[in-house]
Chains A and B, each alone.
Chain A
Amino acid sequence: MSASAPPAAVSLAENAQRRVLEAVLHYQHPVVVVDSPPGAGKTSLVEAVIAMAVLDCRWRVAVIAPRNEQVYDLVRRLRSDYQPLPLQLLHSGESPPPADLRSLGIPMVTRANALVGGVGVVISNAAKLAFSVPDLTTNEFDLLVCDEAYQLAAKDLDPVGHLARRLLLVGDPGQLAPLVRVDVARFEAARVKVHWPAPKELMRRHPGLPRIALPATWRLPKDTVDFVQPSFYPDLPFVSGAAPDGRRITFSAAGMGDAIDRALDQLGAGATMVGLVLPALPLEADQVDEGVSQAAAAVIQRMLSRGITWEGRSLLTEGDVGYVDTHVASNAATERRLRQLGIGPATKTTTPEIWQGLQRPIMVVKHPLSGASHFGAFDLDPGRLCVMTSRHQLGCVMVSREGVAQALERHAHDCSDRPTGAEDVQWVGWRANNSFWSMLEQKERLERL
């Protein structure tokens, strides 16, 4: 939350944070769900709740997150942001924490029966805490906090549910759901949805759960919110807390006037979501689209060579730009093109799964439907496109082949293998993709090569 953020957004956000603190620390209800849009300060909120619970209420708190990296990040932030908390890290013996954490002097144990009791925080990934259940007692903790809860399947949260009297789940409902490697039709038809994201399943089981929405994103500018919120968060209204005059891009050099420069000039004129469209090209299944990779690398090189600057802050460098592509092979192709253009590994190129939780001032995105004539569940997953289009603070350039709108229009939606009553995620994805692309067209944000 910056000092120059719009006062209305600040006030909305503070009220929501206050409600969360009161709900967790004072409500009679044992479970609280917090829904957060991208960049709304989830982790800061989690930190505040933990600090209050431990330092003010003198509680024993367990904190879990789906992945080790998320756990380590939380430990670092708690250490740097708050007064010293009694903190213990429970980790797998096979995955020792990184060296910087080991140097912080935090007690680290691999067995739950080695944990020191009493007031304090125990942080672990969800799987490790679940495997430690035999060594822990019912209501061992006063509070269990689950960060990035929508990335955790219900089957992974259920086994630890009895470890605490109160439960706080914080997460982003619009992003990628937990990965399940098998056909889930039989589980979708079951009475209990163990494969669903944990908060979603808990709210289905207990419809009256208190659910608090964070109302403002500090990462995304207003223009981006106008694209992302209606497409991916129709049930979660939120505004941008970014000060409009704090998110301006300037270029020190004029462009040559081609499509790439026109797209970049749109960014300079205040648009934060623009598209660069290449001529259509039929591709084989799994064929890497070298043309799109080349164009994406050229966009990055062009913005850097034109001296892209975050107005009032600094000249942006290679590390301020990221590239996201749904396929590892085409990420590698773009990386190769970037190296050929003299751009180093500071420009991170990877998949949406890895980009979750990260941000950069500028993102270049390969549209997940680019070049595809038929779409499957993977292509249409709304969470994937949502992650890809919500990592940037200043601007996003989406690179795609011509034909996305036509392919979306032609798409014959097949719901024959969907269990009756099950949510049609592909349809949700189609609608999100269609809404997003239509907005790019309506707002004249597409520049054609």
Chain B
Amino acid sequence: LNPPSGPHSLARDLEAREFAAELAEEAAVRGDSTVRELARRKGRAVRAVIASVEQARSSRKPCFVNLRTDQPVLRIREGTHLQRVDGGVVGRVVRVTTEDSGQRLLRVELSKGVMKSTVPRVGEESDWVDAVPVDMSVQRNKIFSAMKAAQTPLVYGTLSSVPPIPPPQRDLLAVAAALRKR
């Protein structure tokens, strides 16, 4: 059982360990209310009320929910993936706005939980967490296998020269400046 030593196997190992750490963090924050409370204090979990649901066709995407929270500490930004603590609803934050009252409104585009039976109801209060691990191991393995197959000198060997281009007979900086918009 030799430990990984090549760039591809080390990279794969590091990715696997990071994913495992994400899974453990997700399990802790979803399954342990004390951990979740600590996450809430750091803004990584949020208790919010469903302010509205926008879904043009029942049980179909696109489906947006607006979450309203008065939690002062939030580490949630546009692009953050959120899941309801029961794991039934998952989405991506597309906008964060602050209302005059100081409450924050998170607009979330749902990727899971859009069916009529599962879509969140207006007025429902629930915990949402930002730990949404996505298993990309299949895709990453493909990448690292391709990297190993390519055996690029940059990663595996000694760099060789590229075909030389004659040295410039002009001031490249001046040429670059001339390409700028006036």
On whether A80 and B181 interact (CB within 8 A), knowing A336-B72, A345-B98, the answer reads: yes
A18 to B171, CA, bound (A): 8
- The answer on a CB contact under 8 Å between B143 and A95 is no
Residue of A nearest to B102 (CB): A339
In contact, A186 and B3 (Cβ under 8 angstroms): yes
The listed residue with most B CB atoms (<10 A of its CB), out of A27, A83, A155, A205, is A155
Interface string of B128-162 (1 = CB under 8 A from A): 00000000000100111011001010110011111
Q: Which residues of the partner chain B approach A133 to less than 8 Å between Cβ atoms?
A: 142-143, 146-147
How far apart are the CA atoms of A26 and B175 in the complex, in Å?
Answer: 14
> Does B73 lie at the interface of the complex (its beta carbon under 8 Å from any beta carbon of A)?
yes
The contact string, 1 if C-beta is below 8 Å from chain A, for chain B 1-13, is: 0011111101101
Q: Does A21 contact B173, Cβ atoms closer than 8 Å? A: yes
B179 lies within 8 A of A26 (CB) = no
Q: How far is the CA of A158 from the CA of B15 in the complex (A)?
A: 14
CA distance A191 to B147 in the complex (A): 17
From A131, A158, A161, A333, residue with most partner B Cβ within 10 Å: A158
Most buried by B among A80, A159, A180: A159
Which residues of A sit under 8 angstroms from B18, Cβ to Cβ? 180-182
Stretch among A51-59, A217-225, A414-422 lining the B interface: A51-59
Residues of chain B contacted by A191 (CB below 8 angstroms): 5
B147→A158 contact, CB < 8 A: yes
A168 smallest CB distance to B (angstroms): 12
Q: Is B14's CB under 8 angstroms from A180's CB?
A: yes
Fill in one digit per residue for A82-121: 1 if any B CB lies within 8 Å of its CB, else 0: 1100000000001100000000000000000000000000
Q: Which residue of B15, B158, B159, B168 contacts A155 across the interface (Cβ within 8 Å)? A: B15
B42 interface residue, CB < 8 Å from A?
yes
Chain B interface size, under 10 / 10 to 19 / 20 to 34 / 35 or more: 35 or more
| A residues in contact with B146, CB < 8 Å | 133-134, 159
Inter-chain contact A26/B167, CB cutoff 8 Å: yes
Chain A contacts of B79 at CB under 8 A? 68, 95
Structural contact, B14 and A29, CB atoms closer than 8 A: no
Interface residue? B74 (CB, 8 A): yes
List B contacts of A194 (CB < 8 A). Answer: 7, 10-11, 14
Contact with B along A1-33 (1 / 0, CB 8 A): 000000000000010011001100111111100
A26-B165, A26-B167, A80-B181 as given contacts; A332 in contact with B10, CB under 8 Å: no
| A235 sits at the interface (CB 8 A) | no
Rounded to whole Å, the gap between the CB of B99 and the closest CB of chain A is 12
Give the A interface residue count (CB, 8 A).
Answer: 62
Contacts of B154 in A (CB 8 A): 30-31, 158, 161-162, 167, 202, 206
Write out, one digit per residue, whether chain B residues 54-71 have a CB within 8 A of any chain A CB (1) or not (0).
Answer: 000000000000000000
CB of A48 within 8 A of chain B?
yes
Determine which of B43, B75, B161, B172 lies in contact with A21 in the assembled complex, contact meaning CB atoms within 8 Å: B172
Contact between A25 and B5, CB atoms less than 8 A apart: no
Distance in angstroms between the alpha carbons of A30 and B8 in the assembled complex: 21
A286 vs B73: C-alpha distance when bound (angstroms): 13
Closest beta carbon of chain B to A185's beta carbon, Å: 12
CB contact under 8 A between A81 and B180, given known A162-B150, A191-B5, A192-B6: yes
Q: Please, what's the 1-or-0 string for A325-343, where 1 marks a CB less than 8 Å from any CB in chain B?
A: 0011100110010010000
Point out the residues of chain A lying under 8 angstroms from B111, CB to CB. Answer: 94
B73 and A332 contact, CB distance less than 8 A: yes
Q: Give the docked Cα–Cα distance between A138 and B5 (Å).
A: 24
Q: Which residues of A contact B165 (CB under 8 A)?
A: 25-26
Most buried by A among B4, B6, B13, B179: B179
Q: Given that A82-B179, A181-B18, A206-B159 are contacting pairs, would A159 and B144 also be in contact in the complex, using a CB cutoff of 8 Å? A: yes
Instruction: List chain B residues, Cβ under 8 A from A166.
Output: 162
Taking the closest CB of chain B, its distance from the CB of A139, in whole angstroms, is 10
Q: What 0/1 readout, one digit per residue, does chain A (354-396) give for beta carbons within 8 Å of chain B?
A: 0000000000000000000000000000000000000000000
Q: Name the contact of A181 in the complex, choosing from B13, B22, B92, B163 (C-beta under 8 A).
A: B22
B87-117, CB < 8 A from A:
92, 98, 102, 111
Q: What residues of chain A lie closer than 8 Å to B20, measured between beta carbons?
A: 182
B161–A28 contact, CB under 8 A?
A: yes
Are B74 and A30 within 8 A (Cβ)? Answer: no
Q: Quick one: closest A residue to B160, CB to CB?
A: A30
CB pair A165–B166 under 8 Å, yes or no, is no
Q: Report the nearest A residue to B3, measured CB to CB.
A: A186
| Interface residue? B17 (CB, 8 A) | yes
A159 B147 Cβ-Cβ under 8 A:
yes
Q: Is B47 interfacial (CB 8 A cutoff)?
A: no
Question: For window 161-208 of chain A, which residues contact chain B by CB distance below 8 Å?
Answer: 161-162, 165-167, 180-182, 186-187, 190-192, 194-195, 202, 205-206
Known: A30-B160, A51-B179, A329-B41. 7 other contacts (CB 8 A): A26-B167, A82-B181, A94-B92, A158-B11, A165-B162, A186-B3, A206-B158
| Chain A contact residues, CB within 8 Å of chain B | 14, 17-18, 21-22, 25-31, 48-49, 51-52, 55-56, 68, 80-83, 94-95, 130-131, 133-134, 138, 154-155, 158-159, 161-162, 165-167, 180-182, 186-187, 190-192, 194-195, 202, 205-206, 209, 286, 327-329, 332-333, 336, 339, 345
A/B interface sample: 6 pairs, CB < 8 A: A22-B167, A51-B176, A52-B175, A182-B17, A192-B5, A192-B6
